[in-house]
Amino acid sequence: MNLMEMLLALLAVVLFTSVAANYNRKMLDQNDYLINATQYVQASQLCHTVLDEIDAKLFAKMIAFFSVKTTYANVNRTIDLAFPGDVYNLNIRAVDCDSLGIPLSTPVANNIWVRVTVTANTKGLRVPATLQRIYTKTYLNL
C-alpha cells in the first residue's frame, strides 16, 4: 500500500466516522423529542381528566356551580404513572372571570363565570401543559 492509498483510506475512515457520529447524535435528539412529545400528550390528557371531572360533577349535580371555585381554588395533585415511570404534578386554580375568561381584580357577588386552569408538569417536560376552561352558571348547575 502506497502513501496515496493510505491517505485515502484514512480520509474514508474519518468521513464515515463523522457521518456515523452525526447520525447517532440526530437519533438521540429525535429520541428526546419523542419522549418530550409523549410526556406532553400525557400531561394534556391528565389536564383534560380534571376538567372533565368538574364537568361530570356539575352535570350530575354532585357540586353546585358556586362551589367550583372553593373546591378547586388552589389544589395540587400528584399522579404517579407506574408504567412509564413518570410522576406528574397537577396544579388546579379556579378564579372568577368575565365572559372572555379574563380574571376579575375584585370578585363580584353571584358571578356567573369561573375559569379553571390546570397545569401539569413532570421531570423532563420542557414546557408544562396548561389547559383552561370557562364554566358558566346555567339553570342546570344551580
Work out the mean pLDDT of the chain and round it to a whole number: 87
pLDDT at 17 over 80: yes
Q: Residue 42 belongs to what domain range? A: 3-141
pLDDT in tens, 71-113: 998 999 999 987 777 899 999 999 999 888 888 888 788 888 9
Q: Among candidates 34, 49, 21, 68, which has minimal Cα distance to 120?
A: 49
Q: Round to whole Å and give the CA distance between 69 and 71.
A: 6
Model pTM score? 0.77
Mean pLDDT value across residues 52-65: 90
CA-to-CA distance for 115 and 97, rounded, in angstroms?
Answer: 6
Checking if the pLDDT of 31 tops 80, the result is: no
Which of 50, 42, 52 has the alpha carbon at shortest distance from 76? 50
Domain count, the chain: 1
Distance (Å, whole) CA 60 – CA 51: 14
